[in-house]
RNA sequence: GGGAGCAUAGCUCAGCUGGUUUAGAGCAUCUGCCUUACAAGCAGAGGGUCCGCGGUUCGAACCCGUGUGCUCCCA
């Protein structure tokens, strides 16, 4: 006895375990075509959220489908080490145990970090299993695995030798909380309500003259080393070459003139703080200005600031204003909205800071990567992201890859006491290099760079290093699986990751890392807000899976998510998924009821019609789905299957073949029904793996599994058969509508009279038609039937006789409405055909089509008019 | 400031190369049904200035221009 509804929890645990045991997800190179997907490695600190859910559902769909298409599908799981995020977690863990990071050594810290990683690092991968993701768990990778780590360092050394990596003191984005440099991509700009302070600086040689600047960061005044004006600006021409005095600290700074300054912003006079502003730094270089670094690495004011030493720069911003005012320097304050950079990982306000860091020069390495995407060596879905990619690649800046952290790949640069350095894989090799460079140093004196590499500097090797493409070059796995097939990722990491993977792929494998890139949308809440921890609007995914089932969650997230479009997540979509589960489950219950009630073949030809129709419909949809999947239109494919199963199979097919209450079913019909059902769940399997596998096994006792059942090539669908099925549906709906409108109760039977030129066609399906519209009898007539409800479908007319008194007026209104519609339609067609230029210019088949439309409309109008006469 | 994208039913979205489109789904709404698979359901219905304006074309939701509004990216 089957349960009332589909019980998802049991099926999920049972089948995932079964698939694993059977080893369906583990792949070894063979002579089949490979279909390879590498997971975008989630952050090792991560837990599953809606973004992962979408992303991994898509990957699972692609991988499962490829597997069922006979490809050797391999989906590689893993995580990245997430320097900043993990280090923050470890520091927090230590704090709870009363240990300060500063009190322990680097090695001790790393021991704790590994402890943390072993304990919490795999959570997200376990959660993916709950979603049904068919990953090859034996291949689970981590960006700090020993081989992987060595490859990362090797790449650093190699790029250094090629001259792509250099060390330089430049302005960088400084995260004061994590106390590390960030790359440009790790800074998130947000609009912030600020104040614009107008501050006047006294001119040095004339006690009565001032120059007024405007700033949102008054605390940086302490680091000012110039004031800059536009050379064209008449207001300040007399001040060129003079000096001003910095308020509160009395530093004497030059007034310089440069086109960089816009005359219409603020006062037209710009204070220049080379140590704390990107643009000011450029000016500083150009005019050889003094650089006064007023900030410590934790964001507090340094000795060089002279005032507020040791206080946080944001506090100082508030404190300095009254002092400026008291000293008579504050002219006015206005409200001002500006963009402020925040750290992606710690949300701290990022400070521009001058710092010695390691950089990758991107100019040369990016060239093949840009070309590959532009000339479709790599396909982006949707293609609109090509623009974004090109724009970034053409304006690419050097990549700051050093991070002032311990957790990660320690930079293989080694320093001698005299400050000279070499890049080498080990202390010993560094020592040898120093020797050949004639640097006098003992091996003990050599000091390794304290910093780690940006996490993305390791994950850009992911598509080949998960197959040890670099640590074990040319091995069988990398030869077989690389380049991978499809990368599924979020558009927000197109630069962080996608672009750089393509660069690394060409640089180290001499080949693209993947053929297609599918960009998912961003999952937002119902109100269109991005899901975030701080808003608390991201639902607990595991709770949702518990509540609705993994299949329903997968359905809900996929049903309205075309590639690259954001999706507004709404639980009602999950409900729809759950309802779909139940619909399928109930269809199963119905079919199982017939299993023991089979009878020898009956004479009824109606069933032949139904079986042929559904078979053709199935073939039609198979072809459609193939086409949609090739175009990566996954949600369209799912919608198509949803409608095939719910509407065509459940609402029409099953109703048509359903025997009367406790009546036997034709054995052939039963066999076919089971076969169709199997094909349906097979098509749906990649989207909803659990329920489909369950149904597959419920339908019949069997030893194989749906998970690896191979798709067969669809046969061509017969258009005539499809249109006959379509007509039958149309007739049934029209008759039901007529019954409804005339308030004939569902239980009241009717007598149906058909006026048609295709009597044989209707006779073949008479039983079905009668059952579907609750007709006690079906007769054929040459003339109109008096005192009946008239329904016209195409060229045929139907007369409904019933006990119910006919509302002739209502009927007439209906017919007139239809008549008007048809006449307007005819008019629009006639207008086209009456236009000589249309007939001349349009394609012949288009004209032919319009002629057919005209003829059909005329026929329908005739039918309706005749019906009206008989009322 | 520079660039990109989007605007279609109450909501979320399809609509591919301009012609079976006086525009389709799903959800929501309304009407009638507890019809022996399913009320988490069945049967049916209503609902549209395809953002405004102009142009190209025999023909425009679709192409071009322009305006408006929203979103994103870069600085």
| pLDDT, tens only, A359-374 | 999 989 999 999 999 8
Q: Which nucleotides of B are covered by protein (CB under 7 A)?
A: 3-6, 12-16, 19-20, 22, 25-28, 31-33, 35-38, 40-45, 57-59, 71-75
Q: What is the pLDDT of residue A492?
A: 83
The secondary structure element, H or E, covering residue A719 is helix A719-741
Residue A532 Cβ under 7 A from any strand B atom: no
**Stretch A255-259: mean pLDDT, rounded?**
86
The reply to whether the CB atom of residue A732 sits less than 7 A from any atom in nucleic acid chain B is: yes
- Determine the pLDDT at residue A602: 66
Nearest nucleotide to A573, CA against C1' atoms: B27
| Closest nucleotide to A822, Cα to C1' | B22
Provide the percentage of residues in chain A whose pLDDT is more than 90.
52
Q: Concatenated DSSP letters for A648-688? A: IIIIIIIHHHPPSTT--EEHHHHHHHHHHHHHHHHHHTTTS
Residue nearest to nucleotide B44 (CA to C1'): A737
Indicate yes or no: strand B within 7 A of the C-beta of A844: no
What pLDDT is recorded for position A566? 77
- Block residue for tokens 């095939």: A644
**Stated in angstroms, how far is A800 CA from B54 C1'?**
53
User: Does the pLDDT at position A552 exceed 90?
Assistant: yes
Mean pLDDT of A804-810: 74
Query: If DSSP states are collapsed to H, E and C, what string results for A452-510?
Result: EECCHHHHCCHHHHCCCCCCCCCCHHHHHHCCEEEEEECHHHHHHHHHHHHHHHHHHHC
Distance from residue A569's CA to nucleotide B63's C1', rounded to whole Å: 34
Q: From the alpha carbon of A561, which nucleotide's C1' atom is closest?
A: B13
Q: Which of residues 548-587 of A touch strand B (CB under 7 A)?
A: 559-560, 562, 565-568, 572, 575-576, 578-579, 581-583, 586-587
Rounded alpha-carbon distances, angstroms, from residue A303 to A294, A309, A310, A311, A349: 7, 6, 8, 11, 21
Mean pLDDT for the stretch of residues A397-423: 93
- A:631-650 Cβ neighbours of strand B under 7 Å: 631, 633, 636, 639, 643, 646-647, 650
- Residue A396 (CA) to nucleotide B72 (C1'), in angstroms, measures 19
C-beta contacts of A654-661 below 8 A and 24+ residues apart = A654/A587, A654/A590, A654/A591, A655/A771, A655/A772, A656/A606, A656/A610, A656/A768, A656/A772, A657/A607, A657/A610, A657/A611, A658/A590, A659/A594, A659/A597
- Geometric angle at alpha carbon A195, from A194 and A198, rounded to 5°: 150
Q: Å between A835 CA and B55 C1'?
A: 22
Q: Which of residues 223-252 of A touch strand B (CB under 7 A)?
A: none
Token readout for A360 is: 């990758």
A572 burial level (CB within 10 Å; 0-12, 13-18, 19+): exposed
* Phi, psi (rounded to 5 degrees) for A473: -60, 140
| Residue A557 Cα to chain centre, angstroms | 11
Kindly indicate the confidence band of residue A533, based on its pLDDT and cuts at 50, 70 and 90: low
State the nucleotide closest to A654 in CA–C1' terms: B37
Indicate the DSSP class of residue A568.
E
Question: From the Cβ of A492, is strand B under 7 Å away?
Answer: yes
Choice between A448 and A813, residue whose per-residue pLDDT is larger: A448
- Cα A543 from Cα A672, distance rounded (Å): 39
Give the pLDDT confidence score for residue A869 in this predicted structure.
80
For A383 and B56, how far is CA from C1' in angstroms?
27
Mean per-residue pLDDT, A520-535: 75
Q: Is the peptide bond before A765 cis (omega within 30 degrees of 0)?
A: no
Strand B at less than 7 A from CB of A841: yes
Is A589 (CB) below 7 Å from strand B? yes
Predicted pLDDT at A647: 93
Provide residues 102-141 of A with CB closer than 7 Å to any strand B atom.
none
Using the structure, give the distance in angstroms from the CA atom of A509 to the C1' atom of B54, rounded to a whole number: 54
Distance A138 CA to B67 C1' (A): 59
Q: Which helix (H) or strand (E) holds A198?
A: strand A187-203
Give the CA-trace dihedral at A836, A838, A842, A846, to 10 degrees: -110
Comparing every residue's Cα with the C1' atom of nucleotide B33, the nearest one is A746
Residue–nucleotide distance: A124 CA to B17 C1' (Å): 44
Q: How far is the CA of A772 from the C1' of B37 (A)?
A: 17
Taking the C-alpha atoms of residue A404 and residue A355, their distance in angstroms, rounded to an integer, is 11
Determine whether the distance from the CB of A745 to the nearest atom of strand B is below 7 Å: yes
**What's the CA A25/C1' B66 distance, rounded, in angstroms?**
55
Per-residue b or e along A441-456, where b marks 16 or more CB atoms closer than 10 Å to that residue's CB:
beeeebebbebbbbbb
**Nucleotide nearest residue A849, measured CA to C1':** B20
pLDDT value at position A465?
98
| Farthest-apart Cα atoms in chain A, separation | 116
Q: Does the CB of A350 sit below 7 A from strand B?
A: no
| CB A774 under 7 Å to nucleic chain B | no
Distance CA A741, CA A236 (A): 84
pLDDT at A98: 93
Give, to the nearest 10 degrees, the angle between helix A123-130 and helix A50-68.
60
pLDDT band at A48 (very low <50, low <70, confident <90, very high): confident
- A629-CA/B52-C1' distance, Å: 37
Report whether A351 contacts A276 (CB < 8 A): yes
Nucleotide with smallest C1' distance to residue A584 CA: B38
- Mean pLDDT across chain A, nearest whole number? 89
Q: Is the CB of A655 under 7 A from strand B?
A: yes
Which residue is closest, via its CA, to the C1' of B5? A384
Q: Which nucleotide is nearest to A588 (CA to C1')?
A: B37
**Phi/psi at A98 (nearest 5 deg)?**
75, 25
Summarize the confidence of residues A520-547 as an average pLDDT: 80
Chain segment A166-194, per-residue pLDDT in tens? 998 888 889 888 888 887 777 877 777 78
Q: Is the CB of A658 under 7 A from strand B?
A: yes
Integer distance in angstroms from CA A513 to C1' B18? Answer: 39
Average pLDDT value for residue range A793-812: 80
**A195 CB and strand B closer than 7 A:** no
Strand B and A726 CB separated by under 7 Å = no
How far is residue A252's CA from residue A202's CA, in Å, rounded to a whole number? 10
* Structure token pair of residue A461: 């090797």
User: How many Å apart are A542 CA and B21 C1'?
Assistant: 43
pLDDT (tens digit per residue) in A223-242 = 999 998 888 888 888 888 88
Confidence band, pLDDT 50/70/90 cuts, at residue A534: low
CB atoms within 10 A of CB A56: 27
Among A25-29, A327-331, A543-547, top mean pLDDT goes to: A25-29
Lookup: nucleotide whose C1' is closest to A580 CA: B40
User: Which percentage of chain A shows pLDDT scores above 70?
Assistant: 98
Instruction: Evaluate if residue A206 carries a pLDDT over 70.
Output: no
Q: Which nucleotide is nearest to A395 (CA to C1')?
A: B74
Q: Which phi and psi (to 5°) does residue A254 adopt? A: -75, 150
- Whether residue A518 has pLDDT greater than 70: yes
CA–C1' nearest nucleotide, residue A567: B12
A566: Cα within 13 Å, side-chain hemisphere: 12
Average pLDDT over residues A62-88: 94
pLDDT value of position A207: 66
Please state, in angstroms and rounded to a whole number, the distance separating the CA atoms of residues A609 and A768.
Answer: 10
What is residue A580's predicted lDDT score, i.e. its pLDDT?
A: 94
φ/ψ of A842, rounded to 5, equals: -70, 155
> Of A50-54, A221-225, A463-467, A835-839, where does the model show the most confidence?
A463-467
For residue A722, say whether its CB is under 7 Å from any atom of strand B: no
pLDDT tens figures, A138-171:
999 999 999 999 999 999 999 999 999 999 888 8
Q: What is the mean pLDDT of residues A781-789?
A: 86
Mean pLDDT to the nearest integer, A349-355: 88
């Amino acid at each position: 006895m089957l349960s009332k509804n589909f019980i998802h929890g049991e099926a999920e645990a049972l089948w995932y375990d079964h698939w694993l045991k059977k080893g369906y997800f583990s792949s070894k190179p063979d002579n089949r075509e490979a279909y390879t997907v590498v997971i975008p490695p989630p952050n090792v600190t991560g837990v599953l959220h809606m973004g992962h859910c979408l992303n991994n559902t898509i990957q699972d769909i692609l991988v499962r489908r490829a597997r069922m298409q006979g490809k050797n599908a391999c989906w590689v799981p893993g995580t990245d080490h997430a320097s900043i995020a993990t280090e923050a977690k470890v520091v927090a863990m230590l704090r709870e145990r009363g240990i300060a990071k500063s009190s322990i050594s680097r090695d001790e810290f790393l021991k704790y970090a590994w402890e943390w990683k072993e304990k919490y690092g795999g959570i997200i991968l376990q959660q993916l299993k709950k979603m049904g993701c068919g990953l090859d768990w034996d291949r689970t990778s981590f960006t700090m695995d020993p081989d992987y780590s060595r490859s990362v360092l090797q790449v650093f050394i190699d790029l250094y030798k090629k001259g792509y990596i250099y060390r330089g003191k430049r302005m960088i984005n400084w995260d004061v909380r994590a106390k590390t440099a960030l790359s440009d991509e790790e800074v998130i700009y947000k609009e912030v309500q600020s104040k614009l302070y107008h501050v006047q600086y006294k001119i040095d040689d004339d006690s009565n003259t001032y120059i007024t600047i405007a700033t949102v960061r008054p605390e940086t005044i302490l680091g000012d080393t110039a004031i800059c004006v536009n050379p064209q600006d008449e207001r300040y021409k007399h001040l060129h070459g003079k000096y001003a005095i910095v308020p509160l600290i009395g530093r004497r700074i030059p007034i310089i003139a440069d086109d960089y300054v816009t005359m219409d912003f603020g006062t037209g006079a710009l204070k220049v703080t080379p140590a704390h502003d990107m643009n000011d730094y450029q000016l500083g270089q150009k005019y050889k200005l003094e650089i006064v670094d007023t900030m410590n690495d934790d964001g507090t004011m340094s000795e060089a600031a002279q005032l507020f030493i040791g206080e946080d720069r944001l506090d100082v911003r508030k404190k300095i204003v009254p002092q400026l005012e008291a000293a008579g320097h504050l002219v006015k304050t206005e409200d001002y909205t500006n963009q402020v950079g925040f750290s992606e990982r710690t949300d701290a306000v990022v400070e521009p800071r001058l710092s010695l860091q390691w950089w990758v020069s991107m100019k040369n390495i990016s060239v093949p990567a840009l070309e590959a995407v532009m000339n479709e060596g790599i396909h982006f879905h949707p293609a609109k992201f090509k623009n974004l990619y090109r724009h970034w690649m053409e304006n690419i800046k050097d990549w700051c890859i050093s991070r002032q952290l311990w957790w990660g790949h320690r930079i293989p640069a080694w320093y001698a006491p005299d400050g000279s350095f070499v890049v080498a894989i080990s202390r010993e090799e560094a020592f040898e290099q120093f020797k050949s460079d004639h640097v006098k140093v003992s091996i003990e004196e050599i000091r390794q760079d304290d910093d780690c590499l940006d996490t993305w500097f390791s994950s850009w090797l992911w598509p080949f290093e998960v197959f040890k493409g670099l640590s074990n070059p040319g091995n069988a796995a990398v030869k077989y699986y690389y380049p991978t097939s499809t990368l599924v990722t979020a558009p927000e990491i197109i630069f962080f990751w996608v672009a750089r993977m393509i660069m690394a792929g060409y640089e180290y494998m001499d080949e693209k890392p993947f053929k297609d890139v599918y960009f998912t949308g961003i999952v937002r809440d119902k109100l269109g807000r991005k899901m975030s921890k701080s808003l608390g609007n991201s639902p607990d995914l595991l709770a949702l899976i518990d509540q609705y089932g993994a299949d329903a969650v997968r359905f809900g997230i996929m049903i309205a998510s075309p590639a690259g479009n954001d999706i507004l997540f709404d639980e009602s979509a999950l409900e729809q998924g759950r309802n779909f589960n139940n619909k399928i489950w109930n269809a199963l219950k119905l079919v199982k009821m017939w299993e023991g009630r089979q009878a020898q073949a009956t004479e009824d030809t109606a069933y032949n019609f139904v079986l042929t129709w559904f078979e053709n419909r199935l073939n039609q949809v198979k072809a459609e789905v193939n086409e949609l999947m090739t175009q990566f239109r996954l949600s369209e494919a799912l919608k198509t299957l949803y409608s095939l199963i719910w509407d065509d199979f459940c609402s029409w097919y099953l109703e048509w073949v359903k025997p009367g209450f406790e009546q036997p079913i034709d054995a052939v019909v039963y066999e076919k029904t089971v076969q169709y059902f199997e094909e349906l769940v097979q098509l749906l399997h990649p989207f909803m793996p659990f329920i489909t596998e369950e149904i597959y096994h419920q339908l019949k006792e069997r030893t194989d599994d749906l998970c690896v059942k191979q798709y067969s090539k669809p046969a061509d669908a017969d258009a005539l058969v499809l249109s006959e099925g379509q007509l039958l549906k149309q007739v049934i709906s029209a008759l039901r509508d007529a019954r409804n409108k005339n308030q004939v109760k569902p239980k009241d039977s009717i007598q149906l009279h058909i006026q048609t030129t295709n009597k044989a066609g209707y006779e073949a399906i008479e039983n079905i038609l009668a059952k579907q519209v609750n007709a006690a009898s079906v007769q054929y007539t040459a003339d109109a039937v008096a005192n009946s409800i008239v329904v016209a479908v195409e060229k045929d007319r139907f007369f409904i006789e019933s006990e119910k008194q006919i509302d002739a007026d209502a009927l007439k209104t209906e017919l007139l409405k239809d008549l008007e519609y048809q006449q307007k339609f005819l008019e629009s067609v006639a207008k086209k055909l009456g236009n000589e230029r249309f007939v001349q210019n349009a394609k012949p088949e288009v004209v032919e089509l319009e002629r057919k439309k005209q003829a059909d409309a005329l026929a329908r109008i005739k039918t309706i008019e005749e019906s009206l006469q008989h009322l």
